[in-house]
Amino acid sequence: MTDLRWYGWGYADKIFSFDQHPDAWNFLRDALALRGDESFPACDFDAIRARAPRLTSAQLDALRHIVPETKTDTRTRVLRTYGKSYRDLIRLRRGEIANPPDAVVYPANEDQIARVLAFCAQANCALIPFGGEAGDERVTITLDLARLNHVLALDEISQTATAEAGILVPELERALNARGFTLGSFPPAFEFSTLGGWLATGGDDLAALISGARVVTPRGIIEAGSASPLLPLFIASAGALGVITRATTRIRRLPKAKNDRAWLFQNFSAGVTALRVLAQSGIVPAFARLLDENATRALGAFARRDESRGWKAWLEQFGLGFLAPRGYAFDQGAMMVLGFEDDAASAQAGQSVCKAYGATDLGRGSADAWLRERYEMPDLRDALLDRGILVDTLEIAAAWSNLEQLHKTLAAAIADASAQTGSPAVVMARVAPGDRDGARVRVTFLARMARGKEIEQAETIRRAAAECIVTNGGVASGRDQDALEMTIWRAVKNGLDPNDVMNPGKWLVAESSSVDAAIEYQERFWNLPTKETPNL
């Protein structure tokens, strides 16, 4: 089996090749004023020095009696110190392992998890999910659910599947495909995400697939079905309330026919209007993603030149000559990828909406190429970091009436903050319809790294973004809490975890109604271990 890349994402031998994307470096050089000598290679792993485990011999023996698969070697502990956020990857590349877990446990069942929780409460230890740094200075146990990886049930009539939380989502998808079903959701980080991670981080529309969960808490086991008021408590809870051991997901039959097409709008505003009309007219695509002008421009730069069936080949061969006289330009327009399954009438209606708002059809090949190439984006992030380029992502929700203004204001706030750190920025957005009243926006920003202050630079930009979101009517990913909500969530946390064993210090902030408190919360949430990766 190929080793995973210890300082980034994916397999060590899978590298994003700029040779296959020859326009990419020119785009980055011009947009970020690169000098050509920027680089930020990872340190040598063997040079990393991590603190020795602080567990006593008696404690370690007791822990191994509960979970025989308990490891304390340096490599295992280092690789489970951080998640995949930008700040985490910078610290990994520097070899800064300030607070590694003292042990990593691989439980095989719920009984072992419950006993580990009891051990942590008795020994005053913290228990955190794989990929999360301890939030305080207690002895820390990291929980890796890799052994809980089984599909437990598939209800073909209700169209639900139940699986253990540690299963990799591609493995679950393959099991469903063998029975003629699919999850129907494929985010950029699909390849290495887990079912429990989908629920605990709540990113994209993934949480909407969850119809039930079983959670081991310090107070006992909670079985939360789709009608239970408790289920929303655990979505985006980041492991702070308990350990999700299994989840039930909504599934659907594999489509017999797919109609995926890409559309080019003359500008972002027209695309947003079309996306809103789709959401409010009852037309339900299998997926819909709108890229703003900067994201569309970047997509063109990073596309494979050898993609003979892709949108770029289409444009280069005859598309640009056709589009330009009609007022379309790929470096100024906004692209939407729209997909339908087994519903020709809805597909026709969706295409009519796009045409009504001035879009031109780029065809199925363009959509297929985008869907394939987006899985390279996690590997692209590592390649950008190698070359000294900051790349980070945040996700927000916005009402349709406020989306365009928030998009404009947020892009300006990020660009201004980046300029204060010494670099121009590229700010890109991708919009997905949320509901009739609003949408979700994933914002990715690039900047030239401030060497020696890489983390401080990113936090300066994040803080400016958070302040802009809070003061302009947006909601950041996770739970955007005011003082009263914080009091309620603190009561929930104390009720389920009175000893603050579960992922302490990463979820709640001091009670305050000020913007600063909201910003502090959002910064903490963005720094949680995450599967989120840039999606250009």
For residue 96, the domain's CATH number is 3.30.43.10
Q: How many domains does the chain have?
A: 5
Residue 178 lies in a domain: yes
Residue 458 lies in a domain: yes
181, 253 Cβ separation under 8 angstroms:
yes
Residue 35 lies in a domain: no
Alpha carbon 85 to its chain's center: 9
Q: Is 164 left (phi over 0), alpha (psi -120 to 50) or beta?
A: beta
* Beta-strand pair 243-250/210-217: antiparallel
Write the CATH number for 361. 3.40.462.40
Copy the structure tokens of residue 425.
Answer: 């920025």
Q: Does residue 425 share a domain with residue 406?
A: yes
Residue 419 lies in a domain: yes
Residue 531 lies in a domain: no
Q: Is 238 left (phi over 0), alpha (psi -120 to 50) or beta?
A: left
Copy the structure tokens of residue 121.
Answer: 């409460």
| SS3 category, 291 | strand
510, 489 Cβ separation under 8 angstroms:
no
Residue 371 lies in a domain: yes
Q: Is 325 left (phi over 0), alpha (psi -120 to 50) or beta?
A: alpha
Q: Does residue 244 share a domain with residue 158?
A: yes
Using CA atoms, how far apart are residues 247 and 223, in angstroms rounded to an integer?
A: 10
Using CA atoms, how far apart are residues 184 and 180, in angstroms rounded to an integer?
A: 12
Q: Does residue 399 share a domain with residue 445?
A: yes
- Please give the span between the terminal C-alpha atoms of the chain, in angstroms, as a whole number: 29
Write the CATH number for 469. 3.30.300.330
Q: Does residue 233 share a domain with residue 177?
A: yes
**Res 308: pLDDT:** 46
| SS3 category, 154 | strand
Q: Does residue 93 share a domain with residue 79?
A: yes
112, 74 Cβ separation under 8 angstroms:
no
390, 425 Cβ separation under 8 angstroms:
no
Q: Does residue 109 share a domain with residue 215?
A: no
Domain span holding position 398 = 388-477
Copy the structure tokens of residue 410.
Answer: 């947020």
Q: Does residue 177 share a domain with residue 90?
A: no
Residue 160 lies in a domain: yes
402, 472 Cβ separation under 8 angstroms:
yes
Tell me the pTM. 0.87
Last residue of a domain, one of 108, 143, 178: 143
Q: Does residue 473 share a domain with residue 487?
A: no
- With 0-12 / 13-18 / 19 or more C-beta atoms within 10 angstroms meaning exposed / middle / buried, residue 30 is exposed
Query: What residues have CB less than 8 Å from 110, skipping those under 6 apart?
Result: 214, 216, 221, 245
**Residue 27 identity:** F
**Res 149: pLDDT:** 96
Last residue of a domain, one of 326, 357, 377: 377
**Res 232: pLDDT:** 85
According to DSSP, residue 109 is labeled: S
Q: Does residue 266 share a domain with residue 194?
A: no
CA dihedral 290, 430, 408, 478 (to 10 degrees): 130
Q: Which helix (H) or strand (E) holds 115?
A: helix 110-123
Q: Does residue 394 share a domain with residue 364?
A: no
Q: Does residue 397 share a domain with residue 335?
A: no
**Res 323: pLDDT:** 56
* Beta-strand pair 103-105/140-143: parallel
Residue 302 lies in a domain: yes
**Res 531: pLDDT:** 37
Question: What length is written for the chain?
Answer: 536
382, 37 Cβ separation under 8 angstroms:
no
**Res 132: pLDDT:** 53
Write the CATH number for 202. 3.30.465.10
Q: Does residue 219 share a domain with residue 188?
A: yes
Using CA atoms, how far apart are residues 363 and 431, in angstroms rounded to an integer?
A: 20
Last residue of a domain, one of 327, 354, 377: 377
Instruction: Return averaged pLDDT per consecutive 10 residues of the chain, 536 residues in all.
Output: 77 81 88 90 93 96 98 93 90 92 97 97 90 65 95 97 95 97 83 84 70 94 90 85 95 94 96 97 92 92 60 49 55 91 93 96 86 78 94 93 97 98 97 91 96 96 93 72 71 90 72 48 44 38
Tally helices (H) and strands (E) across the chain. Answer: 19, 19
